[in-house]
A and B are shown apart, each in its own frame.
Chain A
Amino acid sequence: AQSVAQPEDQVNVAEGNPLTVKCTYSVSGNPYLFWYVQYPNRGLQFLLKYITGDNLVKGSYGFEAEFNKSQTSFHLKKPSALVSDSALYFCAVRDYGDYKLSFGAGTTVTVRA
């Protein structure tokens, strides 16, 4: 079985400061890892993914994520947060050979001006 944990319900940062959203996962095989963002009353937008290769993955809107196999983590990062980054962020995992996505509970990010 596969699962995702996002240990923080909320993350609050000041604009211009670094932003980190944490994610740990569990799969039986090799993981495919994803980050999505959801703005109020909208669907999920894809940010970035890790399939294989470089542990540091770059995505949309200046976000990046670091895959750490030994810690089974895939934390989302942004060096300098913007007020417009305020949203709900979801980490998701797929096991190798499976289509099904498992999502974390989500982390609400608030960036204050």
Chain B
Amino acid sequence: NAGVTQTPKFQVLKTGQSMTLQCAQDMNHEYMSWYRQDPGMGLRLIHYSVGAGITDQGEVPNGYNVSRSTTEDFPLRLLSAAPSQTSVYFCASSPPGYTEAFFGQGTRLTVV
């Protein structure tokens, strides 16, 4: 079972570069979300989607864009990378109802 797949696992960017973090799930989950994890701050919600074509901002959306053209994919775009975006990024998905979220293995991003 693939579950939630994130690519790449590691990435180094220069300040000002753009890139897309990929997230795909094969469980037909409606809800998908992106979090960033920073030491001592837990996981903070960046953007989320409740279905194809529907996205919304979370707690820390600045500097990031998302789109949801299919149920399976939810890419996160960094428009112009900044050192403050150095973090570990997690994608998660969940079905409707009371179940838990399923997380990918994470992408460790360093912006120099």
Contact = CB atoms under 8 A, between A and B. Distances in A.
Contact of B90 (A44, A46, A102): A44
A6 B43 CA distance: 13
Which of the four size classes fits the interface of chain B?
20 to 34
B43 A103 contact: yes
Interface in B2-40: 31, 33, 35, 40
Given A44-B90, A49-B100, A51-B98, A105 B45 contact: no
Interface stretch (B61-69, B70-78, B79-87, B101-109): B101-109
A101 B40 contact: no
A104 B102 CA distance: 17
A85 B3 CA distance: 24
Contact of B106 (A43, A51, A101, A104): A43
Contacts of A32: 98
Given A9-B40, A101-B33, 12 more contacts: A6-B42, A34-B101, A36-B103, A42-B105, A43-B103, A43-B104, A43-B105, A44-B92, A100-B45, A100-B48, A105-B40, A106-B42
